[in-house]
Amino acid sequence: MNELERRYRAVLRAYPHSWRAERGDEMVATYLDAAPAGRTVPSIMDIADVVRGSLRHRLAATDAGLAVRGSRIAAELALFGAAALAAVWFCVIELAAMPDDYILDELGPVQSLGALAWASWIAVALAGTVLKGRPMRIAVGIALGLTALTIPAPAVVPFFRPSLTVLVPQLALGAVALFLSPRRRLRARYGIAVAVLAIAAIALSARPWEDALTYRLGFGDDYVLGAAGVLLGTGAVAVAVARAFRRSADGLWALLIVLTPVMLLLMPLIGRVLDAPGLAESWIGVLIIAVAAAVATVSLLSVVVRLGLRRRERARA
């Protein structure tokens, strides 16, 4: 076995063992025949082909339709979470006034550059009553883009922006919301819109903070984000249990997909537990938590995929 063959076999480990035992030699021979003379490492295109094929095979083994349905359930949960948080931030904070004796730049009638992002998420939730399919995904993409642009905006304009603790979970929720079904049910479309309006009305009437100074200093963010993370996680678990009673595992897929946004929402609380309250306010801290959340999600998804493969192999036997 030469070096190139050994490396191709290493790349093919992306496929399940049973598939490699049946077709591994054939695939290696095909790649070796197509490789130019003198090559010692697999090409990028070959590696991409193996990754794509292995993902397709593993998803097929777990019922790709199940994964798609799960991602769409997760998207509905994420859209509601993103719009509900946006309603709280906009109504409670952006519309609040600064103390008269505290001098900070204000952005007209609102407090920060985040106001446009929050308004866009509220608008997306309301637009969902009439939009669906590609137009709805475009609307989500626009809101996601505005949220992302808020992060570097202070380098261009001299105004305050929300903290990374607030913006990063919003981006994660928005990314999941891109998987909305092209045929959303009316109860989901109108339910989210009505719930977001109700939350906005409650936020406007409650006004737990008398001014926006606490928001600018980061006080209270962890409680709002922590509550949102707990509620979103609890909702995902409830959906998974309800779907399990109907003998469907798509709720489990939805739970695993929203795990990353939930962990990011809990960033401030995680920082407190680790006795590092500033962890979520640094790029390194955000990166560490985001990678940990992604690894946990991928690991759990791989477990589900492996269980599906074993179940299918037993059925064939």
pTM above 0.75, yes or no: no
Number of Cβ within 10 Å of residue 162's Cβ equals 25
Written as six digits, the tokens of 31 are 């790649």
pLDDT in tens, 39-57: 888 888 888 788 777 766 6
Which position has the higher pLDDT, 140 or 273?
140
Backbone torsions φ then ψ of 110, nearest 5 degrees: -115, 175
> Quick one: 156 exposed, middle or buried, by C-beta within 10 A (0-12, 13-18, 19+)?
exposed
Reduced to 3 states (helix: H, G, I; strand: E, B; else coil), residue 59 is helix
Helix (H) / strand (E) containing 41: none
Q: What is the pLDDT of residue 251?
A: 83
**Above 60 in pLDDT, residue 61?**
no
Q: Tell me the DSSP string of 217-251.
A: TTTTHHHHHHHHHHHHHHHHHHHHHHHHHTT--HH
Q: What is the pLDDT of residue 24?
A: 84
pLDDT in tens, 243-277: 888 877 788 888 888 988 898 888 777 766 666 65
**Above 80 in pLDDT, residue 239?**
yes
Helix (H) / strand (E) containing 3: helix 3-11
Lowest mean pLDDT among 7-21, 138-152, 180-194: 7-21
pLDDT band at 127 (very low <50, low <70, confident <90, very high): very high
Backbone torsions φ then ψ of 107, nearest 5 degrees: -105, 75
Residues 20 and 58 sit within 8 Å (Cβ to Cβ): no
Over range 126-141, report the average pLDDT.
89
